[in-house]
Structure 1
Amino acid sequence: MEELYSSTLEVFQEKIGNPALQDSLNEICKYLSIPTPLLYKWDEGRIALAADIDVNLPSLKNYEDIDIRAVEPILMVFSLEKYPSTPPLITTDRTSFPKNNLAHLYIATEGKPPALCLVRGNFADWYARKRPQDLIKRIGNWFQDAATGNLSLDGEQFDPLRLENYTGILIYDYDKLAQTVNKKEDFLQDGNFAIVLFKRTADSTYKFVKFITESNYSETIEEVDEARKKKSQALQTDHYHIGYLIWGNEQDSFNKYLIKPPKNWDELKRYSNSYGIDVSLVEAYLSKDDKNYHKGVPIILAIRRPLKVIGFESEIEFSNHVAILDYTDKKDGQIVDDATVYLFSHNQSLNKAKAKIISGENEVTIGESIVIGCGALGSKIIMHLARGGQKNFLLFDPDKISSHNLVRHALLGEQLGMNKATALVSAIEGIFPDQETDCVAISTQFNPKVDNDFYEKFRWIFDFSASENVFNFLVNSSNTSTKVCQAYISDKGNLGLMFIEGENRNPRIDDQQAYLYSLSKEVDWISDWLKRENIIGEKNSTNITVGVGCNSETTILADDTISSHAAHFSKIIKRKNIIEQAEGSLNVYRIIDNEDEYSINAETILVPPFTIITAKNDPSWTIRLAEGITNNMLKTSAKAGKSEIGGIFIGVVNYKTKTIHVVDLIDAPPDSTANEICFHRGYNGLSELVGKITKSSGSQLGYVGEWHSHPHGPNCLSATDYETIDKFKAEFNSLLTPLPVFITIVTPEGILPYVFSS
């Protein structure tokens, strides 16, 4: 007669007070035609229902003659109080069940049969959407898959052990340990083990630090001893544990599953031997030469499987344990048999490739990048990019993390007092502990005096500094091979703007800024925003700073607002590495936040390249004309025929960069006069029209110059033109902010600009 696990259990005869559980038991018994249910006490708070499951076996024979039968006895273990939020545990009830030959069985709890791993993923989530009858069908299918050899979905890979009830976690890079095993990089000559330094980061979590080798042994042990001394003095220190990676003969592979984990040292030795791993050398070393001052000793057994382990690129499966060894457990070159051993799980340390896969961003490669500004916005964008596997950054920021920064910065209190760039690099290195991050921190201001050849090595320059000085440098840089991206937040956090330059840096970030201002003529929210910024600027200074830094304690801005902008901007950056385009992109992220509404509007405005002309008389000045400006001048001139004609330029003047942006034209006023040799620009209505544009743009746009045609030549300024220029100089010098005199003539040879500084 078949021996059953349930024969060792006590019969449960109490009343079930959980209505949902009672209903499910009734459904199961009805579905399986069980007239009188057999219920047993499983443990405190749980009961087990015994049932028989019909299995559809192969017509010829079972896969590899595995002992799966046409009727399989099972135990369905239910929580008396937590069901159905806690789903049932399904175990075999047959003591002779071939548990060592099957995948998808959980390692058994002491004295209990192994549980079936019924689904990939979260079983509780699966069961939440299913009926008890569905569970019975899935159990039958599991046994059928076992009988036909289909438990593993990929027959070309090996299913690893299923872990449950493990005590803690060992964090390490699988490939790094597998490489050490395959290359037999043993600590002792002709040995079968390597020594690994772990750092305990939580009570039961050990993180890989490095391999201890002959070359670094002395300095590592000194480091461990220094930590021990600090601990003895009750000082804060790292908790180091020296562990051991042990392997067997590379010729021997094993496909069996030992589902009963070792609980003590003697069981660990027998467990290891069953996989061809001899631990005697490690045992001798542990008892005499081990330098651990903590009791926990990580032990990692490298089990060689016949196929590559699912999810990895090697045939090695690691079985992870921690032995608790006091000095009294070490005697005569051996470890006492009853020394406690715990089962641990492996957690794969993150690397760049894995981060990309998890993020679903395999195609994104940003490349080497300079980042200017590691404050609230910059830090969040960089951490978004880093967590997605992007990590080749040269970070610039001179500031340290202050207490008030913690309200909005991506980093936390542990970095208080650290330089922002340095702290970010440290955080990124912590994400990828076993891989070079290629991140460098510069704890000074961004240096614009460095040769342009240096910047040409980088694919991107990201400016999150909200600095006019940095803005001007980026505008003046002659480097055209590096993409420039600038982002800032304005309008009390309700507006985020990101400018990404076009091909060969045309349009540049200043072109796009001027283009944005020009949209105030047609887009109400842009006009309203610029007017608000103008009011703020008038209260504080004569200049408007469109864009807000978050470094001041007086800046009122919530963390979730910054995070919202940062998440949007990082997605835009990633997209721009996949979708290449010649135009610049002006990316707008608006938050509408008032008593009646909270909503978000995002749009991307493509900005065409600007026409770039150097002043004929003074090459230090550059004129950048928005799309359509030159064509409109040429069309207007052609329409006038033999008569001269002219108009007004609307735009922005930047003395620092010596750039004039022209974004719009105004026709000559109606009182203007012209003939074949002369054009006199009139005044009627001009001041009011320019004033309207200036007001609509929050004083960002205004009169910057004017043009007229020379249909018959000369191809230069005439004597009359010079007289007009002298008058303009005298007039412009009296302005609060003097303007250069900017005159352009349209001649048969082309468009000829002239700029005269006031």
Structure 2
Amino acid sequence: MQYSFHLEAYSGQLSAKTAEAVEQVKAYFNDPSLQVFVWDEHHIVIATSYNVSLPARGSIDNNILAVEPILVKIALHRYPEAAPLIMSDRKTFPKSRLPHLYYSDEGKPAVLCLVRGSLDEWFATKTIGDLLIIAAQWFFKAAIGTLVTDNNEFDPVRLNTSLGKHVFKYETFRDIVSENRRFVESYPLALILSSAYTGEAENERAFKSISDIPFISLDKFREAISKVENKSRDHNSKVLPFYSLLIWDPDQNEEPAYFTNLPANYGELKGFLKIRGIDIAEMLSALKVGNVPLRSLLVMTHAIKRPYKVIGYEGTYEFFTYTLILNDDFSGLVNDEEEVCISSHSQPFTAEQASSLSNETRLAETLYVGAGSLGSKIIMHDARSGKNVLGVVDHDSFQQHNIGRHVLFSNHVGRKKSQAVVEEIKAFYELDATNNFVFFDRPISFVKNEEVAKYKLIVDSTASPGVMHNLIERQDVINARYAKCEIVDCGEIGLLYLQGSANNPRMDDLIYLACYLAVENSELANWRIGDADRELDVLDIGLGCSSVTNVMADDLISFHGAAFSQVLAAYPFEDFLKSGFIYLNVFRKSADNFPQISNKRYCVEPFEVYESKNDSRWTLRFLSGLSRKLLDLCNSHAPNETGGILIGIASYKTKTLHIYDVIEQPADSTSSPVAFNRGIEGLANLVDDIKYQTGQVIGYVGEWHTHPMNLETLSGQDMVSIEKLQVINKQIPIPTCAVIVTKNKIIPFIYD
């Protein structure tokens, strides 16, 4: 018998596209006489058949015939957006024994599942002929038993109609059933803590299940749920906690057959479960007697043990959730006519899933200092990639103007950024442990060392020198790699700095080095030259940005944030275990307004650090290689002295001179074994060029000369020169620095 024997011929008008689809089906089967029938008011079907090439001994278990009648179901008004469905026209089709079918009730045709994912999306780039070829292959594979090729795994039932989503961790329910963790010994039943959300419950009937409740803990859970319910009523909370049930066959019998007749009402559900050793009516009555407050949303999840591992899950159980929506809270009895709806299972978003989706494993415990427009984006990239240990430091509040460039939305206006961002992250992973997502709504200087020391990587997205100095001073205690990122040049340049291990190169070394690199890098030069004429309050995006003066597009910030996130994901930075780096990310626009994107990475070896011989408060920090250069110059000019000037920057705040280049003696210099008189030819222009290209940041900071006779102190003439220089340098102001270079030593003298 075939379904099409009882259908009426279609006599209405077809749209041009639907008529074309009918002709394509006829052409594929080379049969212009194929009939078109009415299926329902929205669909037609075409009855035809496949000739299936069977093995010599027939199909596996005689499931497939040599001639298989089919129905091609086409939507009258939604084709081709809605793909045609291929259904079996055979009433005796063994759909309980075959995988890759959508669920259909007894007495309804089997519907073939032909592709993974959305059939409509697949069909958007295919033809009717492609669809029919795939269906022919389906029947052939069914005949030879190769529909399932996933290592002999079980294909789960495909529910094409359901009521909402039941979100739970498969592993949680699997373990409860496999370990037989009963609420009470008498019944194969676990009491589950679940929650719904008012918006989700009204629109999609979505709810989440968290964990089972041991009997001995019921009173504590009942008290906690009561408090949440009271709070929900008082504050109009969206959270609605309730108890649901997880039930299973007490004998754990395997069921290899696919369901063709799932229960539609409570009476059918009782019978369906009864033949599997589950007396649901008795269970519900016992729970009522035990004063377990079941609500009007009555949710029961049934575990079915399959003979093989279920495709897509780590276990042999398949779960079906039956939902009853009662008029009132459960009173102990349920009318047999109450409708039972089936809710589909959805795995919760977990850190493990996030890592899998992003194809990354980000394990570094990270503390973010700054949750502004840039920092919040990098934080969210990390969180959405599955990082599960993350702290956020920011004491600023989220303001109206922040909405334009922040990951947060208007519902968080007035709240602390750090707290709001962390709460959003915790909401991603509701069924994961979220204790390691922490916020600090205070300045970093008020966060204790023992708190900061819990993290392996610190990412500073502020534009605050105070934050930088605080973190530099604490590095020896907190022992974490320190990274800093900023966006400059009106958003066209992003800079990411990674401090070296053992605090060298130090963060301030790197930031000033980025300025000095403008001497050789035109992109950096454009930034530094432009910034020399730009107002201070539009330079950087950072923690202290509480005004609307920063003019910068949100997508530019996102561009740099994404790049920084990818670089930081490389922690522990195997190529930079001791060194630091500067990552330059550039976004310019061409004359015709198209993006021009480039990037460059600078590896920065540890600086060479010297303490001032005359004043231990001061330190000299040479860019790697400069010490060797000075020693070589001493030896190459011996027995005569030589000298020149130091290029860098001096910081009175940190009592540090950062040296990025040494300029050799000008052509008009004179020297002998006991004296050196530095000339001036070309020096002024050279220094002015460096200052111009670096935006007036890097320039002259001191003198150096050699003592090839290995005198390790300043001569009388040296002291005379220093006294003269002090008068000049105090006008700038910079300290007066003189570096003595012997054949094997660098000896700085610094006077402030």
Deviation for aligned residue 1:160: 0.9
The 1-side partners of 2:105 and 2:489 are apart by 60
Name which of 55, 59, 64 aligns with 1:58: 55
TM-score in terms of structure 2 length:
0.93
Deviation for aligned residue 1:336: 1.5
2:380 aligned with 1:379, yes or no?
A: no
Cα contact 1:646–1:679 (8 A) shared by 2: yes
Name which of 11, 22, 43 aligns with 1:13: 11
2:552 aligned with 1:557, yes or no?
A: yes
SS of alignment partner, residue 309 of structure 1: coil
The 2-side partners of 1:561 and 1:749 are apart by 50
2:411 aligned with 1:410, yes or no?
A: no
SS of alignment partner, residue 516 of structure 1: helix
Cα contact 1:252–1:276 (8 A) shared by 2: no
In structure 2, what is the equivalent of residue 499 of structure 1? 497
Cα contact 2:102–2:158 (8 A) shared by 1: yes
SS of alignment partner, residue 680 of structure 2: coil
SS of alignment partner, residue 434 of structure 1: coil
SS of alignment partner, residue 104 of structure 2: coil
The 2-side partners of 1:389 and 1:234 are apart by 32
In structure 2, what is the equivalent of residue 356 of structure 1? 355
In structure 1, what is the equivalent of residue 670 of structure 2? 673
Structure 1: 5+ residue stretches without partners: none
Cα contact 1:325–1:340 (8 A) shared by 2: no
2:117 aligned with 1:99, yes or no?
A: no
In structure 2, what is the equivalent of residue 512 of structure 1? 510
Q: Deviations over 1:528-583 (max 9, x none)?
A: 2112222225x77xxx9666554423323332222121111111111344653354
Shift in CA distance, 271/114, structure 1 to aligned 2, threshold 3 Å? farther
Shift in CA distance, 292/478, structure 1 to aligned 2, threshold 3 Å? closer
In structure 2, what is the equivalent of residue 754 of structure 1? 749
The 1-side partners of 2:20 and 2:629 are apart by 81
Cα contact 1:287–1:334 (8 A) shared by 2: no
Deviation for aligned residue 1:490: 1.3
Deviation for aligned residue 1:702: 0.9
Q: Deviations over 1:699-743 (max 9, x none)?
A: 1101111100001131222222222222222222233xx211111
In structure 2, what is the equivalent of residue 343 of structure 1? 342
Name which of 554, 566, 569 aligns with 2:564: 569
Name which of 62, 75, 88 aligns with 2:71: 75
Q: Deviations over 1:562-613 (max 9, x none)?
A: 2121111111111344653354221122222476323142323223312222
2:83 aligned with 1:87, yes or no?
A: yes
742-751 or 717-726, larger mean C-alpha shift:
717-726
Deviation for aligned residue 1:228: 5.3
The 1-side partners of 2:386 and 2:323 are apart by 31
Name which of 133, 142, 148 aligns with 2:144: 148
SS of alignment partner, residue 679 of structure 2: coil
Q: How does 1:185-204 map to 2 (within 5 A)?
A: 185-201=181-197, 202=200, 203=203, 204=205
Shift in CA distance, 585/310, structure 1 to aligned 2, threshold 3 Å? same
In structure 1, what is the equivalent of residue 424 of structure 2? 427
Structure 2: 5+ residue stretches without partners: none
Deviation for aligned residue 1:114: 2.8
In structure 2, what is the equivalent of residue 259 of structure 1? 260
SS of alignment partner, residue 727 of structure 1: helix
Deviation for aligned residue 1:328: 9.2
In structure 2, what is the equivalent of residue 536 of structure 1? 534
Cα contact 2:296–2:330 (8 A) shared by 1: no
Deviation for aligned residue 1:391: 2.1
469-478 or 491-500, larger mean C-alpha shift:
469-478
Deviation for aligned residue 1:635: 3.0
Shift in CA distance, 581/633, structure 1 to aligned 2, threshold 3 Å? same
The 1-side partners of 2:378 and 2:330 are apart by 52
In structure 2, what is the equivalent of residue 644 of structure 1? 641
Cα contact 1:66–1:98 (8 A) shared by 2: no
Deviation for aligned residue 1:647: 0.4
Cα contact 1:472–1:656 (8 A) shared by 2: no
TM-score in terms of structure 1 length:
0.92
Shift in CA distance, 194/600, structure 1 to aligned 2, threshold 3 Å? farther
The 2-side partners of 1:287 and 1:455 are apart by 50
Q: Deviations over 1:680-710 (max 9, x none)?
A: 2233443332122112211110111110000
Cα contact 1:275–1:303 (8 A) shared by 2: no
Letter in 2 for 1:40: F
Cα contact 2:380–2:425 (8 A) shared by 1: yes
The 2-side partners of 1:234 and 1:701 are apart by 58
Q: Deviations over 1:369-395 (max 9, x none)?
A: 222111111111011011111121122
Shift in CA distance, 553/487, structure 1 to aligned 2, threshold 3 Å? same
Deviation for aligned residue 1:283: 3.2
SS of alignment partner, residue 580 of structure 1: helix
Q: Deviations over 1:151-210 (max 9, x none)?
A: 112243221111211121011111111111122222223321122232223122112244
Letter in 1 for 2:13: K
The 2-side partners of 1:326 and 1:508 are apart by 68
In structure 2, what is the equivalent of residue 302 of structure 1? 303
In structure 2, what is the equivalent of residue 129 of structure 1? 125
The 2-side partners of 1:720 and 1:41 are apart by 110
Deviation for aligned residue 1:60: 2.0
Deviation for aligned residue 1:280: 3.3
Cα contact 2:374–2:542 (8 A) shared by 1: no
Cα contact 1:587–1:602 (8 A) shared by 2: no
112-121 or 273-282, larger mean C-alpha shift:
273-282
Shift in CA distance, 283/501, structure 1 to aligned 2, threshold 3 Å? same
Shift in CA distance, 246/161, structure 1 to aligned 2, threshold 3 Å? same
Q: How does 1:267-306 map to 2 (within 5 A)?
A: 267-273=268-274, 275-285=276-286, 295-306=296-307
SS of alignment partner, residue 184 of structure 1: coil
Shift in CA distance, 78/689, structure 1 to aligned 2, threshold 3 Å? same
Shift in CA distance, 195/637, structure 1 to aligned 2, threshold 3 Å? same
The 1-side partners of 2:400 and 2:221 are apart by 35
In structure 1, what is the equivalent of residue 523 of structure 2? 525
Q: Deviations over 1:42-87 (max 9, x none)?
A: 2222111111111122222433x14211111111110112211211
Deviation for aligned residue 1:289: 6.0
SS of alignment partner, residue 102 of structure 2: coil
The 1-side partners of 2:620 and 2:273 are apart by 78
SS of alignment partner, residue 135 of structure 1: helix
In structure 2, what is the equivalent of residue 473 of structure 1? 470
Shift in CA distance, 125/478, structure 1 to aligned 2, threshold 3 Å? closer
Cα contact 2:634–2:743 (8 A) shared by 1: no
Deviation for aligned residue 1:225: 4.3
Shift in CA distance, 449/263, structure 1 to aligned 2, threshold 3 Å? closer
Cα contact 1:193–1:245 (8 A) shared by 2: yes
119-128 or 337-346, larger mean C-alpha shift:
119-128
The 1-side partners of 2:11 and 2:505 are apart by 81
In structure 2, what is the equivalent of residue 221 of structure 1? 222
311-320 or 234-243, larger mean C-alpha shift:
234-243
Deviation for aligned residue 1:478: 4.5
The 2-side partners of 1:184 and 1:293 are apart by 22
Q: Deviations over 1:276-313 (max 9, x none)?
A: 54423433246666766853222111111112212222
The 2-side partners of 1:619 and 1:134 are apart by 81
In structure 2, what is the equivalent of residue 621 of structure 1? 618
Q: Deviations over 1:438-494 (max 9, x none)?
A: 12111111027845x765543211111221111112333452942111001112222
The 1-side partners of 2:106 and 2:411 are apart by 41
Letter in 2 for 1:439: F
SS of alignment partner, residue 299 of structure 1: strand
The 1-side partners of 2:665 and 2:402 are apart by 53
SS of alignment partner, residue 755 of structure 1: strand
Cα contact 2:582–2:604 (8 A) shared by 1: no
Shift in CA distance, 670/231, structure 1 to aligned 2, threshold 3 Å? closer
